[in-house]
Each structure stands twice: as structure tokens, then as C-alpha cells.
Structure 1
Amino acid sequence: MTARHRIAYQGEPGANSHIICKEAYPDWEAVACASFEDVFAAVSDGSTDLAMIPIDNSIAGRVADIHHFLPTSDLHIIAEHFLPIQFQLLGIPGSSLDTIKTVHSHIHALGQCRKIIRKLGLTPVISGDTAGSAREVAEAADPTIASLAPPLAAEIYGLVVLAEDAEDEEHNTTRFVVLSKEPNEAPAGNGPTVTTFIFNVRNLPAALYKALGGFATNGVNMTKLESYMVGSEFTATQFLAEVDGHPEDLPVRRAFEELEFFTTEVNVMGVYAASPYRAAKT
């Protein structure tokens, strides 16, 4: 009997990361991990084959902590997936909009559902995880407590839906990347591709401007550029960038050649097929 493939995610069963694992890898075992550090470790030590990590949200921006782990993880990005975020207001059977007084969820979920919280006059209570807040409500068995969590959480923890589509913005979407211990680059010339890389600029005047100039002059679209401090040194800066295209495409290759003149290190973290979601939103 062939062993079942496993994919790690951060959060409790029913979290958004769990949902995207089920959608993207329906035949795989989704493995819940308490922290992002545990997720990275699960792939690194071979406990799981892959990891599903949220990296950006259309409202909240970049996901905190991920940039601390990516550069030193020695893992490779092999795919990306987008998940429209949906929150439901959940309570125990027998509860209603009239009985609930407090609402539990992750701090980001509470921030993304301010309208319904204000409309119902609820007191927000921060939980470590959206799905975890649903579990807490189920365990408390208190009709005055509700949870803001994804639809899957209601099914898993036996809660009733008091209000659907509780999120403030319809366009609320999270981008996830899939991490692997082994590289698996998408072939060149086989459709839209994304290249993710990390680089450190030389300590020279206008080094960043010059480093990025090659992408502009070669017509390469840079879709992401974020800076991070390296260690405790305020003068050392690392950049995470993404561009449309494959390193074997002539414009991208030329841009990388120019980049090397003004950097001390360039590390390509992944070359993978662009999600169809990108084209649907352009």
C-alpha cells in the first residue's frame, strides 16, 4: 500500500490554510501545526512532503513572521494558490444573534469583520486562530459566545451559522505558496511563470536603484518587493522580490545579470506556474 502524501499548514482543523490544502491537494493528508516554525520544520525533517504557507492578504498585506523563516529555511517555492476569504459568525446550537454578546477570533479576522461586530454590538476577544476560536466556542457551550471562522470550522466543530459572509470586503483574498524540500522548477515556455528571489544589495550609493534598473530596462514586471532588516544590523537590508517570467527568458536572464553587479547575494527561492487567479483579476 502506497503511503499517503502529507502537507503541513499552520492553524487548527477548519482554518483557511486547511481549506486551501483540501482544495489544492484533496487526496493528501493535511497536517495541522501550532506555529509557522513547526510547519517549516515538518518539511525540513521529512515529516511532511510539502507545506502550505500564507504569504500575502489583499487587506492585511504581508503575513508577519514568514520573512523570518523563508531566507534560512532552505525550502523551495513550487506553487502558489489564492483563496477568497470567507468568515461566518458561528455559535452553538440554540444560540442566536439575540443571545451572543462576545465574538472570538484571530486578530486579523476581527479586524476584517468590523462592520458586523459593530452592528451587533459584540465585544471582540482575540484568539490564536480562527478555527481555534470555533473550537473554543464549541467547548464552552455558552450561547452568549460566538466565533468568526471559515465555513469548514462550523462543520468540524458542530456549530450553527448565525450570519454568512461576515467579512467587510468581498475582495478579501489570501495568497498561499507551497514549499518543498526539493526544488521543482516550472519548465520555460510553458505558460505564465513567477520567479521569487532574495537578494542583498552592496553598500554603495544608489545600489538598490541600480540593482532594479535591469528589470525596468528589460521590460520585466516586478510584482513584489519587500525589505527586511538582517539580524540586528540597521545598515544591512535584505529584499524579497517576485517577477513575472522565467529565469531562462531572455529579458529576465539579462535583468538578473545586471542585478548581480550590485548585490552580494542572490538566491532564487522558486520558479513556478502563475496561478490562473492572477489572469482572472487583470
Structure 2
Amino acid sequence: MTTQRTGVIAFQGDLGAYSHEACRNARPRMDVLPCPTFEDVIEAVRSGKADLAMLPVENSTYGRVADSHRLLPQSGLHIIDEAFVRVRIALMSVPGRKLEEIRLVRAHLVLLPQSAGFLRSHGISGHAAADSAGAAADLARSHAPGEGVLASEIAADIHGLEVLARDIEDNAHNTTRFLIMSREPDPSRRAERMMTTFVFRVRNIPAALYKAMGGFATNGVNMTKLESYMVDGNFTATQFYADIEGHPDDANVRLALDELGYFTTHMSLLGVYPADPRRFG
């Protein structure tokens, strides 16, 4: 029985990328649209070529994904969901090749240090590639001798490669958090545990940030993330990005946001969405 498709979700990278895996997991009934850059992903949704965007924003091992993170405040899109994807790194090569034949692997720069122990123990050198799934596609075409690729297993499925080793990452809890974004917000309470994301700029007064944060502490609102952005290349102007647990209609969240308003010159919601259950272990 054929599954009926329900729209298009865009992601950055080639087919087989971890972002593609995130799309499959979170929106299995949607068609996917690979895009060269994060800007292209956002524009695809803005223009109507795609209905949703899948953007990685942080990883438990290497921190925030700066290239996508900086685009969020001005994207014009709204966060409607989050998705946590366990990063499982597979070593793959052309069919028939054995692990002991591999002397070099190509992968996105962030994957190489995450599997350094395995590579070192097998005498394999790592070379950075722009995109792991793209490296898989290149190897499938070239059949370069002695070469392999580190990527998600779906890259092997898509590009006709053979997995020689699975779960080779040094950190067994390596996870990437993705945000699913849409042209229209969905602030409805769709789950018991909700998240709210917003950006704000503090007033130019002493201890403004400290005072702005005080309302969240006194009202018992858990702030899970606070990031700063330089505004227009100006060292004296800073915008902050924040994730909090709760919904704006919750009494304690409403009071905290009201208090925030006294110490800010600007505040806007980026999204209200269900918390991924994997956020809490």
C-alpha cells in the first residue's frame, strides 16, 4: 500500500544527510527537498516550494550550529516542533570492499573528531568534506580505492554503498536537536509539556540582562537556553535568543514575559511548540 504524501519538507544537504534522517523520522509522510544552504532551506519555505523547514540548531557534542542559528531571528518563519536525532555514525564504502582495506575516510568536519577513537585504532585517516552524504554520492560514482565515508546509514541505502562498521562514534549519547519551521505559527497547546522560543534586546541600563532574567527565576520558569547575537556588527548592541519550558498562556510564563518587557526594547516569539520527549531523557 502506497503512503499518501502530505507536503514537502526542506533540509540542507544531500539525500542521506542527518537532516534527511530527521525529516524521515519526524515527518515520514512528507516529500523531501534537499537544498545547498540553510538560506536556501528558509527561502524554499518562504516562496512556497516547501511547506516546512528542518534546521539543526545544536549538537550535544560540538554545540550550536552557528550557520543556521544566526538565521532564525530574521527568517520570517515560525518554530512549530523540535526533533532530537541520535547521531549514529556508520563507515561505508563500495560493495565488496573490506574494512581492513580502508585507509582514508571522508566526512563532514564535525563527524571526524566524533569517531576519532575508531579511526585511530584502525589506522584510518580522516579528510573533511563539505557534506557527508555528498561524499557518499561521490564515492559511489568514483569507486576510489581504499576510501570510505562516514555518514548516516540512510546514505548507504540511497547511494548503493555497503556499511562496514556501525555506531563508531566515541560518544554514545551524541544527539542533534532540529527545529521544524513553518510560514505560519501554531501556538496551540498540543502537548502537556510545551516549549517557547523568543528573541529580545535589553535596554541600555546597568544590569539590564540580570534584571530581565529575574522574572523567570522568581516565577519558576526553567530557561533551557540563552544565546547572544551581535546586532548589525555592532559591539554595543546585542540580541538574545532564549528557550523556556512552558506555554505563554501559563500563569508563571505570562508573568515572566510581562516582567521581561520592562527591561527590553524589543521582544518577539519565534515559536511555541511541543517539547520532544527525548529532551527529558
Which among 167, 170, 176 is matched to residue 168 of structure 1?
Answer: 170
1:111 pairs with 2:84: no
**Over aligned residue pairs, what C-alpha RMSD do you find?**
1.3
For the residue of structure 2 that corresponds to 1:213, the secondary structure is: helix
Aligned to 1:126: 128
Q: How many angstroms apart in 2 are the aligned matches of 1:145 and 1:123?
A: 10
1:42 alignment counterpart: 44
What does the per-residue CA deviation read over 1:154-198, in whole Å, with 9 as the maximum and x for residues that have no partner? 11111111111111111000111100001111328x510000000
Q: TM-score, normalised by structure 2?
A: 0.96
Residues 175, 3 of structure 1: CA spacing in aligned structure 2 closer, same or farther, 3 A cutoff? closer
SS of structure 1 residue aligned to 2:100: coil
Shift of 1:71: 0.9
Give the superposition deviation at 1:68: 2.1
Aligned residue in 1 for 2:61: 59
Residues 219-234 of structure 1 mapped to structure 2, 5 A cutoff:
219-234=220-235
Task: Note the residue ranges of structure 1 that are not aligned, 5 or more in a row.
Answer: none
Ranges of 4+ aligned residues in structure 1 off by more than 6 Å: none
Q: Distance in 1 between matches of 2:89 and 2:193?
A: 31
Hey, what's the Cα distance between the residues in 1 that align with 2:33 and 2:72?
A: 20
For this pair of structures, how many residues does the alignment match?
A: 278
2: CA distance between counterparts of 1:270 and 1:4? 22
Deviates more, 1:93-102 or 1:229-238: 93-102
8 Å Cα contact 1:186/1:273 also seen in 2 = no
- Which residue of the other structure, out of 144, 148, 152, is the alignment partner of 1:150? 152
Q: 2:14 aligns with which of 12, 15, 19?
A: 12
Matches within 5 A, 1:186-265: 186-187=188-189, 190-265=191-266
The 1-side partners of 2:113 and 2:134 are apart by 17
Distance, in Å, in 2 between the alignment partners of 1:132 and 1:3 is 25
Deviates more, 1:265-274 or 1:60-69: 60-69
Shift of 1:67: 2.6
The Cα of 1:99 is off from its aligned counterpart by 1.4
The whole-number CA distance in structure 2 between the counterparts of 1:19 and 1:89 is 16
What letter matches 1:145 in structure 2? E
Alignment partners' CA distance in 1, 2:5 and 2:248: 35
Decide whether the 8 Å contact of 2:5 with 2:29 is kept in 1. Answer: no
Residue equivalent to 2:186 = 184
Distance (whole Å) between structure 1 residues aligned to residue 12 and residue 58 of structure 2: 15
Within 5 A, what are the aligned runs for 1:73-112? Answer: 73-112=75-114
What percentage of aligned pairs have identical amino acids?
A: 49
**Structure 2: runs of 5+ lacking an equivalent:** none
